[in-house]
């Protein structure tokens, strides 16, 4: 079985100035783009299909406005265009410039400017080339489960272990950590995946209506019951019901839920007909149920019925090393769902990693959506972030130091270091860690990344890791790592 080749990103440079085009070509090659140079825009007619190029960088010339508009109109595969090494044409308004070109680069191009405009071009190209479609991401890639921290790896492992069983699951954790995401993953990987997944927030429904919501009611059973209605348990028959905020469920309802768990049956409100129930129950809460039991507001017997297989979601503040991957995942989802995107500067990313995130992943998701609205297809700098995340009242010396640190981080990324090294130094979790195990997991992750990037070619992966091929083979054998084509 042949291994797929690594995708090459190509850009087209149209510039009569040979020295300038050569300098720009070297910059593209440095960041792993393949440039092709044309000395005149007239030579573009012989190029044929332009769909293989990410962007066209074209130097300013007389009549560029009409030429660019005509090219975009007549060539449906035309990639986004960037006005290169020139000022705004005198005969072009600002509105025309923004609608015709993705950006405008002047002399002495900096990495940040080039990265920004490439990001805009790639996102604009995807938006125009791909039809609107429902995201088909695999559930394990849902935003809050992305990451390489020990805590989130443990959660993913527990999901894989419990999903194929029929065990009742209790998901614990702060609000916004992604408890429903875990529940959906468990359902997806269970034998019930082709049956309904029915969520209900027990804390959002008044106690007197919750019974009807869960078990349904018959016509005339109470004021306003103008017809019969099935409840969530009937809707979830054969599948999974997710009882969110179970800690807010009133005591009388706890008794009835306990009976359903024990007897696998229930009655609608206003009916004495028993309905059999084949439903898997997954519950979740941000409350401490043991303390609620002590205070008499939660039944101990129900707690033990639900707490068969507990999964605790870690707060985002304890897994800051996952922030870069989480941000990338959220941006990818926004590109597909909202057709908008942003990119974060290294300084902005470091500010996110140093924030406590009381709202957890939900707060991060809301922030990223807000940034795509305020800075569509742009680069978010540290001063663009809300003041509570990155206080803006700092002195000039501190900002200069931060900028220098960010430039250093950019250099590290260019050199091929993992995104997780954007922070100045690693952060020790509050409850400590097993250093040997942590370093082993990092080594395994980097080896797997190198093999993926090199399409499973061990020799190339060894070069990426700056080690001998035989050393890499030994490590792969030690950690039982297979090349991509060896995985069935």
Predicted TM-score (pTM) above 0.95: no
Does residue 311 have a pLDDT over 90?
yes
**Distance set, CA 290 to CA 212, 293, 297, 302, 332 (Å):** 28, 5, 10, 11, 39
- Res. 136 pLDDT band, cuts 50 70 90: very low
Average pLDDT over residues 423-428: 50
pLDDT per residue over 88-126, tens digit each? 555 566 666 666 787 777 767 777 777 777 877 777 666
Sheet holding 309-312, edge to edge: 197-201, 240-244, 280-285, 169-172, 309-312
Q: What is the pLDDT of residue 421?
A: 34
150-313: CATH topology is Rossmann fold (3.40.50)
Which residues share a beta bridge with 58? Answer: 14, 83
Q: Does domain 9-129 have CATH number 3.40.50.2300?
A: yes
Average pLDDT over residues 126-154: 60
Q: What is the pLDDT of residue 416?
A: 37
Which residues share a beta bridge with 81? Answer: 56
User: What percent of the chain clears pLDDT 90, i.e. is strictly above it?
Assistant: 28
Does residue 210 have a pLDDT over 80?
yes
- Res. 158 pLDDT band, cuts 50 70 90: very high
Half-sphere exposure of 43 (CA within 13 A, CB side): 11
Average pLDDT over residues 299-305: 94
Does residue 463 have a pLDDT over 90?
no
Does residue 434 have a pLDDT over 70?
yes
Does residue 468 have a pLDDT over 80?
yes
pLDDT per residue over 362-399, tens digit each? 999 999 999 999 988 888 898 999 999 988 654 444 44
Of the listed ranges 344-353, 378-387, 401-410, the least confidently predicted one is 401-410
Does residue 425 have a pLDDT over 50?
no
Average pLDDT over residues 182-199: 92
The structural architecture, per CATH, of the domain 318-422 is Orthogonal Bundle (1.10)
Region of 68 on the Ramachandran plot (φ > 0 left; ψ -120 to 50 alpha; else beta): alpha
> What phi and psi values does residue 401 have, to the nearest 5 degrees?
-65, -40
């Amino acid at each position: 079985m042949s291994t797929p080749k690594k995708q090459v990103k190509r850009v087209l440079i149209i510039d009569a100035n040979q020295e300038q085009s050569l300098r720009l070509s070297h910059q593209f090659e440095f960041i792993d783009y393949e440039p092709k140079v044309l000395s005149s825009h007239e030579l573009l007619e012989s190029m044929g299909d332009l769909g293989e190029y990410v962007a066209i960088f074209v130097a300013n010339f007389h009549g560029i406005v009409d030429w660019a508009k005509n090219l975009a109109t007549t060539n449906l595969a035309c990639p986004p265009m960037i006005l290169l090494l020139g000022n705004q044409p005198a005969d072009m308004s600002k509105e025309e410039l923004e609608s015709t070109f993705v950006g405008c680069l002047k002399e002495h191009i900096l990495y940040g400017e080039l990265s920004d405009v490439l990001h805009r071009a790639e996102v604009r190209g995807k938006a125009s080339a791909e039809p609107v479609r429902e995201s088909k991401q695999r559930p394990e890639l849902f935003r809050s489960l992305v990451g390489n921290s020990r805590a989130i790896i443990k959660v993913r492992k527990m999901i894989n272990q419990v999903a194929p069983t029929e065990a009742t699951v209790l998901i614990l954790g702060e609000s916004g950590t992604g408890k429903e995401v875990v529940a959906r993953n468990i359902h997806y990987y269970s034998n019930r995946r082709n049956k309904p997944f029915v969520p209900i927030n027990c804390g959002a429904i008044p106690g007197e209506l919750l019974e009807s919501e869960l078990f349904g009611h018959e016509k005339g059973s109470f004021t306003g019951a103008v017809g019969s209605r099935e409840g969530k348990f009937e809707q979830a028959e054969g599948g999974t019901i997710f009882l969110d905020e179970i800690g807010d469920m009133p005591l009388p309802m706890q008794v009835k839920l306990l009976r359903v768990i024990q007897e696998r049956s229930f009655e609608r409100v206003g009916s004495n007909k028993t309905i059999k129930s084949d439903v898997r129950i997954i519950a979740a809460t941000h409350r401490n149920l043991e303390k609620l039991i002590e205070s008499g507001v939660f039944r101990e017997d129900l707690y033990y019925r639900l707490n068969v297989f507990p999964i605790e979601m870690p707060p985002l503040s304890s897994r800051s090393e996952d922030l870069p991957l989480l941000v990338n995942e959220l941006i990818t989802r926004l590109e597909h769902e909202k057709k908008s995107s942003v990119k974060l500067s290294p300084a902005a990313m470091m500010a996110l990693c140093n924030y406590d995130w009381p709202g957890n992943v939900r707060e991060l998701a809301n922030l990223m959506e807000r940034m795509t609205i305020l800075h569509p297809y742009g680069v978010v700098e540290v001063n663009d972030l809300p003041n509570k995340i990155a206080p803006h009242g700092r002195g000039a010396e501190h900002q200069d130091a931060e900028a220098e640190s960010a430039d250093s981080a950019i250099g590290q990324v260019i050199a091929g270091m993992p995104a997780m090294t954007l922070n100045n130094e690693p952060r020790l979790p509050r409850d400590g860690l097993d250093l040997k195990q942590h370093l082993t997991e990092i080594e395994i992750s980097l080896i797997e990344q190198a093999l993926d990037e090199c399409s499973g070619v061990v020799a190339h992966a060894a070069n990426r890791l700056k080690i001998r091929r035989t050393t890499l083979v030994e490590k792969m054998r030690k950690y039982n790592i297979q090349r991509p084509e060896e995985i069935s």
